[in-house]
């Protein structure tokens, strides 16, 4: 699974992507709204192994490594994976040096278009920390709407939905 958007290239995760993945998820500033803290090496390996299987055996879904087309630099990740109740989850994470360039919106729009082309996806769900206003803005620009609040231990998660 490899596809492109205007400025980015996407390729499905393989074990070869771990080094870039670890560089992303070990960062506190990236993970603060995802897991609460940057991951150490064992935690990152465990989470990466789960991400390799997140496609639910659907070859047209999964986690993707995202690269700038012009430079071939690793930007971050995107995901389009089966979720609960027949929903499909999308998400992204970017290295801070790529924040503020519109890449989060480009990744989100690309994953929405990809989901529409799959033909079997009815609704997309994005999970976001209520404090992550930047991601909420990305989602609402793409017509996602607030769907529900989900308690997760001591914190709360907000789910946004887009019906295709």
Superfamily of domain 2-122: Gcn5-related N-acetyltransferase (GNAT) (3.40.630.30)
Q: Is 64 within 8 Å of 13 (Cβ atoms)?
A: yes
- Per-position DSSP letters for 12-75, written without gaps between them: E--GGGHHHHHHHHT-HHHHTTTTSS---HHHHHHHHHHHHTTTTT-TT-EEEEEEETTT--EE
29-53: b or e for each residue (b if 16 or more CB lie within 10 Å)?
ebbebbeeebbeeebbeeebeebbe
Distance CA 78, CA 81 (A): 10
Predicted model pTM: 0.94
pLDDT at 156: 92
Fill in the DSSP letter of residue 119. Answer: S
pLDDT at 22: 98
Distance CA 126, CA 162 (A): 9
Report the chain (164 residues): mean pLDDT per 10 consecutive residues: 94 96 97 92 96 88 97 98 91 97 98 92 95 96 97 92 96
pLDDT at 1: 80
């Amino acid at each position: 699974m490899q596809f492109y958007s205007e400025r980015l290239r996407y390729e499905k995760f393989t074990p070869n992507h771990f080094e870039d993945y670890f560089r992303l998820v070990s960062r506190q500033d990236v993970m603060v709204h995802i897991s609460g803290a940057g991951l150490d090496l064992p935690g990152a390996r465990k989470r990466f192994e789960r991400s390799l299987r997140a496609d639910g055996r659907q070859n047209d879904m999964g986690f993707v490594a995202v690269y700038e087309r012009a430079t071939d630099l690793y930007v971050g990740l995107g995901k389009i994976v089966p979720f609960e109740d027949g929903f499909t989850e999308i998400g992204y994470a970017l290295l801070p040096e790529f924040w503020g360039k519109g890449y989060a919106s480009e990744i989100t729009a690309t994953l929405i278009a990809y989901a529409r082309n799959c033909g079997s996806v009815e609704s997309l769900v994005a999970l976001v920390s209520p404090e992550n206003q930047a991601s909420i803005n990305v989602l609402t620009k793409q017509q996602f709407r607030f769907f529900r609040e989900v308690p997760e231990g001591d914190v709360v998660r907000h789910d946004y939905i887009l019906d295709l």
